[in-house]
Amino acid sequence: MKELSEIDVDRIIEMAWEDRTPFEAIELQFEISEKQIIKLMRTNLKKSSFKLWRKRVHSKISQKHLHKRNPDISRFKCSRQRLISNNRISKR
């Protein structure tokens, strides 16, 4: 796994905790695999928090994997939201 800054680790944990963000999106932005994300979560969360997260990720209703998502449901996007590219908000 490449060396990640503390800010990157915090952002990966935030994205991994969010149910709507698939592993593939994290992999695209940070170039780390699902296996590496799980390892990062295990080392940076309390044991009970990690177990709770893993239980949610592997539940039947989890949307952490793109192949499990309902293709008819798109993600809500506010019309006022700025364009976001590679996790960085574009400047005016």
For every residue of 32-90, DSSP letters joined together read --HHHHHHHHHHHS-HHHHHHHHHHHTSTT--SSGGGS-TTPPPP--TTPPPEETTEEP
Provide the whole-model pTM: 0.66
User: Within a domain: residue 48?
Assistant: yes
pLDDT score, position 57:
85
Domain with 13 in it: 6-69+79-89
User: Within a domain: residue 15?
Assistant: yes
User: Within a domain: residue 74?
Assistant: no
pLDDT score, position 21:
86
User: Within a domain: residue 62?
Assistant: yes
Q: 19-76, pLDDT tens digit by residue?
A: 888 888 899 999 999 999 999 999 999 999 999 999 988 876 656 666 555 555 555 4
pLDDT score, position 56:
86
pLDDT score, position 92:
47
- Total domains in the chain come to 1
Q: On the CB side of 46, how many CA atoms lie within 13 Å of its CA?
A: 3
Q: Tokens representing 20?
A: 């709507």
User: Within a domain: residue 1?
Assistant: no
Q: 1-17, pLDDT tens digit by residue?
A: 678 999 999 999 999 99
